[in-house]
Amino acid sequence: GQIIVNSMSAALGGELHLEGALTIEHLTEQATFDLGSTITGNGSVTILLDLEGFDEAETRLSGTGSDYEADWEIEGGTLKAVAAGSLGTGNVTIRRGALAPSYNVNLPTKDLNIVGGDFILCLEGDLVFRSLRGLSPDDETMELFTLPGGAYDANVLVNDVGFGGEQVKGDGTLFII
């Protein structure tokens, strides 16, 4: 399925049941799409933004306690997870854009993948993932790096790991299990 966001502010509430792939495409710069639905089912959700600035539109997940198994693919824009559990229980891949959860994310059996260097990781709370892998934008099967298990705040990710200061924000911690 597909959701097209072509206004400055759009919203969807109620219940959303996923079976397969869903694409949310932003056509307007600085637009906000509030996905306030409780999401169930499984599949994948791709956030698309075909504008110059890779984080210039926002998809807000404000629906409570979603229990779906869906992988998030951020291909432009900011994925802002507001409600606890709103990311569900899938992997997250950032190809071009930002991941900005405002709650403590606990996905110790899932992967956080970063493809290329056009990303922002917002550590507003704590993030727990099984792995953080850097993948080549030319061949996503080519792993460029994997963070070893440990705790990483923004300072460590910039000064010790080598992320750019514009790529990591916030006072939270990334935990790799």
Mean pLDDT of the chain: 93
What does the pLDDT average to over 8-31? 91
Q: How many CA atoms lie within 13 A of 104 on its CB side?
A: 5
The two beta strands, 69-81 and 92-99, are parallel
pTM of the model: 0.95
Tens of pLDDT, residue by residue over 120-164, are: 999 999 999 999 999 999 999 999 999 999 999 999 999 999 999
Residue scoring higher pLDDT (54 or 122): 122
